[in-house]
Chains A and B, each alone.
Chain A
Amino acid sequence: MSDLTRLTISQARAKLRGKEITATEITEAYLSEIGRANPALNAYVAVTGDKALDMAKASDARLVKGQGGALEGIPLGIKDLFGTEGVHTQACSHVLDGFKPRYESTVTANLWADGAVMLGKLNMDEFAMGSSNETSYYGPVINPWRRSRLDTVVMPTTHQGDGGFVSAGGTRTARSLDNAQLVPGGSSGGSATAVSAFLCAGATATDTGGSIRQPAAFTGTVGIKPTYGRCSRWGIVAFASSLDQAGPIARDVRDAAILLKSMASVDPKDTTSVDRPVPDYEAAIGKPIKGMKVGIPKEYRVDGMPEEIEALWQKGIAWLRDAGAEIVDISLPHTKYALPAYYIVAPAEASSNLARYDGVRYGLRVPGKDIVEMYEKTRAAGFGREVKRRIMIGTYVLSAGYYDAYYLQAQKVRNLIKRDFENVFAAGVDVILTPATPSAAFGIADEDMAADPVKMYLNDIFTVTVNMAGLPGIAVPAGLDPKGLPLGLQLIGRPFEEETLFQTAAVIEQAAGTFQPEKWW
């Protein structure tokens, strides 16, 4: 019954509670689909079939008694960055070779407490550093979406058959899929592909500069990075601690709201976890946005942005206006400095966080003639190129004599970026609408991006400001480009106003519809 994999979380939840289906049935359906599809898509790096079936069985026992939790029996994929007890947790790096934690991250513990079922661990860019999921030790993830071509087919002159088409001019157009493989975005590329290709009902992801929202946009899925402090970072492998936030990737806005409700919590084990109760995000969906003030920042209209992105943005503006929102032009003058500031702050924090991988306490060890040589050889063999590059940048900008010029300057600019947002929110803007990415998904092994790391970094140009200011941001699919690839819009909200994002994203979803890739795998 592979149909079960097509259910959204809200649909599956209703059928599970109504005893129309069992958690075991839906879990088996996903496991068999993963078995078929994963060789082509490479979304999972570890499948926990036995554990999944055990969890599903326990869920069924609870469902029978009417004691099911908010996510009872819902099969989820977990990004490899989340510590999962006794299960593969390597941040898709070789340096964490064989690591199986003796603890469970707070976010995943919250999901299991609500009854969710773990299908396995999802592929990602190594240590969440990348925008294409090509830096993974386990190889790239493939986007289930492919470009399609509009072919003009010359039709013989035919007469109109019963219910057939009229061949008036003698030609018609048909779409055919191109074979070129595309990236799903990153770093949560495995999460985005698994959700988009029906290999899990929803997935956990993390976002340091755009790692939830960019892959969501590239795969026609919904991804939300909540406010910094909303989800506990405890037990998640750290990349850049002042920017990292966990969030869900889901097939629609409602599913994202359901997942975030369970993932978010107040956690004494994370000192940056904020003491605020978690609201019922789902309740925000369907509320009218009449009178809401939507800001359109002129700085997001960047040079060389493809026409279809601008057109998509205009469509989004029209949908929100039609729904009764007030559209206002705003300015966020320091936008262009967010990405360069990020490429100082994030590598600096990463170089510090990744100092712990030294071959002593966990993971890979490469022997050396003394302890320093062991460290150096272990780290040389264990980290991939992109990770080394960022550790090197971070080490350099924090080194004696450069700290003020780079790190301190970047942290000052970061305050200016945050102030830009505070000013527009103080002026009454409720939510900001921007494109999610500057382009649709690009090809695997793109030569331009391989030659120049900065080109790859530019993928995060619209998303990274949100991390720098600690704000919530959601990417919601809004249409297809002329080649048939999904494109997303981003909504940015005030701190801890995720409800406004779900409410507004639902309006866009209502107007745009949802998007599924044509199955080729």
Chain B
Amino acid sequence: MSVDLQTVKRVARLARIAVSEEDAERMTGELNAILGFVEQLNEVDVSGVEPMTSVTPMEMKKRQDVVTDGNKAADIVANAPATEENFFLVPKVVE
């Protein structure tokens, strides 16, 4: 399988990365080189093989359903580019 310029632009949109025409053209070549490389996986017979879900055979740990943390609003917004009274500020989302 290979990707064309339109697909690359669509994927960039899905990934929320702005790309110029030039970027998209360069990426098309690079992505096709990588997709060409991974193509060889199709020759592996995987009939009856389950996809891996966990590399170590273990049951996922579950913690007690209790509050262990909190009252850290100032810490949480400390690194944000724009805040107001412990809220993250973003451009208007709903008209």
Complex Cα distance, B40 from A339, in Å, reads 10
Query: How many inter-chain contacts with C-beta < 8 Å in the A-B complex?
Result: 170
Contact bitstring A482-511, B, C-beta under 8 A = 1, else 0: 000000000000010000000000000000
CB pair A362 B80 closer than 8 Å? yes
For the complex, would chain B's binding face be called helix, strand, loop or mixed by DSSP majority?
loop
How far in angstroms is the closest Cβ of chain B from A340? Answer: 4
CB pair B18 A380 closer than 8 Å? yes
Contact bitstring A373-390, B, C-beta under 8 A = 1, else 0: 111110110010000110
How far in angstroms is the closest Cβ of chain B from A336? Answer: 8
Closest to B27 in A: A392
In the complex, A454 has a CB within 8 A of chain B:
yes
Q: Which of A251-274 contact B (CB under 8 A)?
A: 268, 271-274
Contact bitstring B51-68, A, C-beta under 8 A = 1, else 0: 111111010111100000
CB pair A388 B88 closer than 8 Å? no
Given A371-B91, A411-B52, A393–B46 Cβ distance below 8 Å? no
Chain A residues, CB < 8 A from B55: 228, 242, 418, 468-470
In the complex, A343 has a CB within 8 A of chain B:
yes
Selected contact of A337 from candidates B40, B50, B53, B88, CB within 8 Å: B40
Closest to A268 in B: B63
Interface size, A (range): 35 or more
CB pair B31 A271 closer than 8 Å? no
Chain B residues, CB < 8 A from A412: 44, 46, 49-52
Q: Which of A349-365 contact B (CB under 8 A)?
A: 351, 355, 358-365
How far in angstroms is the closest Cβ of chain A from B77? Answer: 8
Complex Cα distance, B33 from A418, in Å, reads 27
CB pair B81 A392 closer than 8 Å? no
Chain B residues, CB < 8 A from A337: 40-41, 44
In the complex, A415 has a CB within 8 A of chain B:
yes
Chain B residues, CB < 8 A from A246: none
Chain A residues, CB < 8 A from B40: 336-337, 340
With A99-B79, A370-B93, A405-B1 known, 11 other A-B pairs at CB within 8 A are A271-B60, A344-B38, A371-B91, A376-B16, A389-B27, A396-B11, A410-B38, A414-B51, A454-B34, A457-B37, A468-B55
Residues of B at the A interface (CB closer than 8 Å) are 1, 3, 7-8, 11-19, 27, 30-31, 33-35, 37-42, 44, 46, 49-56, 58, 60-63, 72, 75-82, 88, 90-93
15 CB contacts below 8 A, A to B, read A242-B54, A274-B58, A337-B41, A340-B40, A341-B38, A360-B90, A364-B81, A368-B91, A370-B93, A392-B8, A411-B51, A411-B52, A418-B55, A454-B37, A495-B56
